[in-house]
Structure 1
C-alpha cells in the first residue's frame, strides 16, 4: 500500500534517507541502449552534476550515490538545523538560484517601502521557501523534472521519463546507514559492470577514492587530528566521514569504510566470490556485526527492507510509534 510521503520522512527520528528513482520505457535511458545502439552515459553526468548543484543550494547533503543505467540511488542527510540558521537573505539567495521568486520579494530587495501586510507576506514566503529548501520532495522534484525535460528535448519527444514517484527509505540507525551506503556504492560491482571500486563509474566511492589519491602529499601525511587536512582528503560536495571526533560528519572513519566496502565487494562480485581478505574489517568488529549477518544484509538489502531500514528492535519501536503492527525487515 502506498504511504503518504509525510509518513515516510520523519526528521525527528532520523535525518538520513535512501532515495531511488527509475526510468520509464524499455530503453536504458541513462546508459547503453541495446535496442538502438546509442549510448546515453552523458545523462548520468547530467544527474551527478545536478545532484551536486542542488546539494549546494538545499540543506540536503549527499552521503552516497550511484547512477546506474536506468535508475539511480542517493543516500542523503537532511540538515534541517542548517536551514533554520540561514538568514532571510540567504534563503532568498538560494531560492533565486532555482526559481524566479516573487514580485513582492523583488520589491523588498530593491529597497522599496513595504506596507505592514506586504512585510507579513514577505516573512511568510521566506519561511515557506526555507522549509522547502530542506524538503526531500522538493529536492527530488527539482532533480527529476530537470533531467526529464533535458532528456525529452534531446529525444525530441514528450511524455513520462521517470517510472513514478521516487522511493524513499528512512535509515533509522548507524548500521542501517552503513549497510545502505555500502549497498549503493557496490551497485556496479553487484551488477558485474565493474571489477573494482575505482572502476565503478558514477558512484560516490569512486569519487572519494580518486579525491583521496589526488590529495596533496602533505595533506595525506599530516596529523589525523588536523581538521583542515582531514577535509582536504574528501570531496567538498559529499558529506565527509570523520567518526565522532569531527562535528557534523558521517559517524565512521573514511579508511574503515573503504576497507569495509572493498572487503564486501570481494564477496558480492559475481566473478570473485570466495576470493576474500582474511581479516574482518575493523568497523564490523567495533559495531559487533557478524560477517555473515553483514554480507546477507548488503546482498539482500533490496528485498529485505521496505520504507524503513534498521535493526529489528528499532523497526518494531518505530512501527509502534506510527501505530502500525509491523514493518518489512522485522522478520
Structure 2
C-alpha cells in the first residue's frame, strides 16, 4: 500500500534517512550509455557538486553517498534544531541562494520601514521557508530538478529524467545507520565497478579515505611533542564523532561512530564482498561490530541486501515494532 510522504519521513522517529533516485529513459544517463555509446560521467560530478552545495543551504547533512551510472544513494541527516535556531535573516539568506524570494521580503532587505501587517506577512514567509529548509522532499526537489534540467538541455530534449519520486528508508537506530552507510559506500564494489574503496569513484568513502590519507601525511611532517591530533574530515560531509557512545543522540551534530572504527569496518567489509581485493581478511572482527553485538553472518547479509531486507523503515526488531505502533501500523518489513 502506498504511504503518504509525511508518514515515511517523520523526524520524531529518526533524523537519518536513506534516499534513492533512479534514471528513466534508456537508463545509463549518468555513466557509460551502451545505447548511445556516450559517456555521461560528468553528470555524476553535477550530482556530487549539487548535493554538497545543498548541504550548505539546507539544515540537512550528507552522511554517505554513492553516485552510480543509473541511480544514486544518499544517507541524509536532518538537523531540525539547527534550522529552528536560525534568525530570520539567516533563513532569508539561505532561501535566496535557491529562489528569487518575495517582493515584500525584498523591501525588508532594502531597509524600508514597514508596518506591522507587512512584518507579520514576512514572518509567515520566513517560517514557511524555515520548514522547507529541513524538509528532505524540498532538498530532493532542488537536487533532482536541477540535474534533470541540465541533462535535458544537454540532450536537447524534454521529458522526465528520473523515473519518479525518490524512495526513502528511515534509519531508526545506530545499527541501521551503520549498516546503511556501509551498504551505500560499498555500492561500486558490490556492483563490480571497483575493486577497492580507493577506486570507488563518486562515493563518500573515497572522499573520506583521501582526506584521512592527507591528514596522516601531514601528521608525520608536523608531529610535535607527542600531541594527539584529530583527523580532519571533509567539510561538506557530516562529521564522525570523537568517541563511540552507545545510545548517543542522533541530533548531536555528528555520526555516532568514530572515523577510525568506520574506515576499519568499511575496509574489512569490502574484503568480505570482494575476496580478490588486495590484502587478507583479518580473522578478528572490527571492534565496532563487537561493541554493537553484530554477528558476522548477519552483518554480511545486511550490507549485501539492505534494500531487500527492509521497506520504508529499517532497524532492529524492537525499533521497527515501536515505530509501527507509533504510526498505528501492525508491523513493518524486517520485523519477521
Equivalent of 2:281, from 276, 281, 297?
276
Q: Which moved more, 1:96-105 or 1:22-31?
A: 22-31
1:37-48 alignment runs, 5 A limit: 37-48=37-48
Equivalent pair of 1:190/1:270 in contact (CA under 8 Å):
no
Question: Equivalents in 2 of 1:176, 1:159: separation in Å?
Answer: 36
Report the equivalent of 1:324.
Answer: 329
Question: Equivalents in 2 of 1:106, 1:193: separation in Å?
Answer: 49
Corresponding residue SS for 1:75: strand
Q: CA RMSD in A?
A: 2.1
Report the equivalent of 2:260.
Answer: 255
From the superposition, tell whether residues 315 and 187 of structure 1 become closer, same or farther in structure 2 (CA, over 3 Å): same
Report the equivalent of 1:160.
Answer: 160
Question: Equivalents in 2 of 1:51, 1:238: separation in Å?
Answer: 10
- C-alpha deviation, 1:8, in angstroms: 0.7
- C-alpha deviation, 1:248, in angstroms: 2.2
Equivalent pair of 1:267/1:274 in contact (CA under 8 Å):
no
Question: Equivalents in 1 of 2:276, 2:140: separation in Å?
Answer: 35
Report the equivalent of 1:213.
Answer: 213
From the superposition, tell whether residues 214 and 275 of structure 1 become closer, same or farther in structure 2 (CA, over 3 Å): closer
TM-score, structure 2 as length reference:
0.93
Corresponding residue SS for 1:31: coil
- C-alpha deviation, 1:116, in angstroms: 1.6
Question: Equivalents in 1 of 2:20, 2:271: separation in Å?
Answer: 25
Equivalent pair of 1:192/1:270 in contact (CA under 8 Å):
no
Equivalent pair of 2:65/2:203 in contact (CA under 8 Å):
yes
Q: Which moved more, 1:209-218 or 1:108-117?
A: 209-218
Equivalent pair of 2:79/2:253 in contact (CA under 8 Å):
no
Report the equivalent of 2:57.
Answer: 57
Corresponding residue SS for 1:169: strand
- C-alpha deviation, 1:181, in angstroms: 0.0
Report the equivalent of 1:307.
Answer: 312
- C-alpha deviation, 1:201, in angstroms: 0.2
Question: Equivalents in 2 of 1:291, 1:221: separation in Å?
Answer: 37
Q: How many residues align?
A: 328
Question: Equivalents in 2 of 1:292, 1:221: separation in Å?
Answer: 40
- C-alpha deviation, 1:35, in angstroms: 1.4
Question: Equivalents in 2 of 1:306, 1:105: separation in Å?
Answer: 42
Question: Equivalents in 2 of 1:162, 1:212: separation in Å?
Answer: 34
From the superposition, tell whether residues 271 and 35 of structure 1 become closer, same or farther in structure 2 (CA, over 3 Å): farther
- C-alpha deviation, 1:272, in angstroms: 5.7
Question: Equivalents in 1 of 2:319, 2:226: separation in Å?
Answer: 33
Equivalent pair of 2:244/2:258 in contact (CA under 8 Å):
no
From the superposition, tell whether residues 166 and 225 of structure 1 become closer, same or farther in structure 2 (CA, over 3 Å): farther
- C-alpha deviation, 1:214, in angstroms: 1.5
Report the equivalent of 1:149.
Answer: 149
From the superposition, tell whether residues 71 and 196 of structure 1 become closer, same or farther in structure 2 (CA, over 3 Å): same
Corresponding residue SS for 1:199: coil
Question: Equivalents in 2 of 1:18, 1:222: separation in Å?
Answer: 41
Report the equivalent of 1:106.
Answer: 106
Q: Deviations over 1:95-126 (max 9, x none)?
A: 00110000000011111121221111000000
Report the equivalent of 1:240.
Answer: 239
Question: Equivalents in 1 of 2:224, 2:2: separation in Å?
Answer: 51
Structure 1 unaligned spans of 5+: none
TM-score, structure 1 as length reference:
0.94
Question: Equivalents in 2 of 1:152, 1:195: separation in Å?
Answer: 33
Question: Equivalents in 2 of 1:315, 1:145: separation in Å?
Answer: 32
1:115-126 alignment runs, 5 A limit: 115-126=115-126
Question: Equivalents in 2 of 1:37, 1:95: separation in Å?
Answer: 39
Equivalent pair of 2:22/2:162 in contact (CA under 8 Å):
yes
